[in-house]
Amino acid sequence: MSIRVLMFGWEFPPHIAGGLGTACYGLTKGLASQGVRVLFVMPKAGGDEDQSAVRIINASDVEMMASWTEWEKYKENVRFMEVGSNLVPYMSPDLFEKTVSETVEGKRASGKISYGNKFQFSGKYGANLMEEVGRYAMVAGTIAAREQFDVIHAHDWLTYMAGIVAKKVSGKPLVIHVHATEFDRSGEHVNQEVYDIERKGMEEADRVITVSNWTRNIVINRYGIAPEKVVTVHNAVDFKNSEDTAEERGVKEKVVTFLGRITFQKGPEYFIEAAHKVLKRYPGVRFVMAGSGDMLAQSIRRVAQLKMATHFHFTGFLKGDDVQKMFRYSDVYVMPSVSEPFGISPLEAMRSGVPSIISKQSGVAEVLKHSIKVDYWDVDALADAIYGLLSYPALAKVVGESGFEEVNNLKWENAAIKIKKVYEDLFV
């Protein structure tokens, strides 16, 4: 059967701040290959998105059916808040600083209905994020009333309210896709409002898709969702645009790379402590921390305290070709995440032939056989693994070549087949 999907997301390439947009892009391409037609709604489209496999609706261009009076009434029932750094999992600190420096009132002024009854979204993860989430849900109701579709698919907590409203307007089944939970982002110090939105979305959904069994267990045990309602579909990587060109690097030492948000979730402090142990045994190495986040400043301070500055480099946030270039520079890739729903970056590293070390506390550990796995907190084991790959070229060669072969079999088309089956089961 031909299936039409109304899909809600917060970002889409080339305008991305993390793995969520990349996953949405790969998934929509995979679904298109299975004959599924996707209408993808995002808060603010740039107009340069790849629409070969998807039709994009810019929520900022949607003329609302609801009047300003109705919006004011709606606002009374929605509590808005200024968000802190734990609530912006896909944003660089530079962008965060810029957005929160603007006053909430100023942002609200720009967010009011303008001519033609349209909401103007920033599409960012800024100070009035909750207000944008609420407005996005209102726009979702208008879109659901106008468009023809068979199923609703909402990605991550930012779009769950939109999915719920679309379901109530259309009566169509709702699929919630959990790429991360508040427990992944914040540990035990969860933001209650975000948790409540996540749980409400999961409860209202007809099916919940999680990116790993690691995340599925969190959804069942921490959110109280019935196990039979939750399906795991592992992520993949789109390698069609990858280039295997060699890169000349300006250093003769080996390079060990951490690439990801420098936040609690990603475990940057364990990478730094392991680096210190490795340098005592193998001084001919440089460590690179590529990314940005709310732990960047303290990470830099810790590197200085350990007197590693001449062996440690901070690149800031990388995207696009710079990410692939960094992998090609690397001899070892490390992902010591504390709680990682999936983790696409090791797949990207392995696609470049880089032997990878990942934490056992990650969803991607469920699908990778040819990577070295350690507990995120076991700094000694992590240091030993890094040292082993640096010191024994034969070991690094076997891990790198086996990993390359393995990840080339993890395709979005295979993930899309499973998700299409989830859709089809809703109509049985």
- Please report, for the chain, the start and end positions of each structural domain, with discontinuous segments joined by +: 4-236+412-425, 254-407
Question: Which of 91-100, 103-112, 231-240 reaches the highest mean pLDDT?
Answer: 231-240
What are the residues whose beta carbons fall under 8 Å from the beta carbon of 224, sequence distance 6 or more? 199
> Sorting pLDDT into bands at 50, 70 and 90, what band is 416?
very high
Question: Which of 94-103, 193-202, 268-277, 337-346 reaches the highest mean pLDDT?
Answer: 268-277
- Is it the case that residue 81 has pLDDT exceeding 90? no
- Is it the case that residue 71 has pLDDT exceeding 70? no
Give tens-digit pLDDT for 167-217.
988 999 999 999 999 988 888 888 888 899 999 999 999 999 999 999 999
What is the predicted pLDDT for the residue at 46? Answer: 79
Question: Which CATH code for domain 4-236+412-425?
Answer: 3.40.50.2000
Share the mean pLDDT of the chain: 84
- Mean pLDDT for the stretch of residues 47-72: 73
Give tens-digit pLDDT for 222-255.
999 999 999 999 998 876 555 555 566 777 899 9
Per the DSSP assignment, residues forming a β-bridge with 168 are: none
DSSP count for the chain of H helices, then E strands: 16, 13
> pTM for this one?
0.80
- Is it the case that residue 111 has pLDDT exceeding 70? no
> Sorting pLDDT into bands at 50, 70 and 90, what band is 79?
very low
Residue 108 is encoded by which pair of tokens?
A: 């609200």
**CA distance linking residue 73 with residue 135, whole number of Å:** 12
List the Cα angle 122/11/40 in 5-degree steps. Answer: 110
What are the residues whose beta carbons fall under 8 Å from the beta carbon of 225, sequence distance 6 or more? 202, 203, 208, 219
What is the predicted pLDDT for the residue at 18? Answer: 67
Token pair 């951490």 is found at 258
The CATH H-level (homologous superfamily) assignment of domain 254-407 is: Glycogen Phosphorylase B; (3.40.50.2000)
Contact 250, 321 (CB under 8 A): no
pLDDT more than 70, % of the chain: 81
Pairwise pLDDT comparison (421 vs 317), residue with the higher score: 421
- Is it the case that residue 358 has pLDDT exceeding 90? yes
- HSE, side-chain direction, 13 A CA sphere, residue 390: 25
- Is it the case that residue 100 has pLDDT exceeding 50? no
- Is it the case that residue 312 has pLDDT exceeding 90? yes
Phi, psi of 224 (to 5 degrees): 70, 30
Contact 366, 373 (CB under 8 A): no
Task: Give the type of residue at 119.
Answer: F
Per the DSSP assignment, residues forming a β-bridge with 231 are: 209
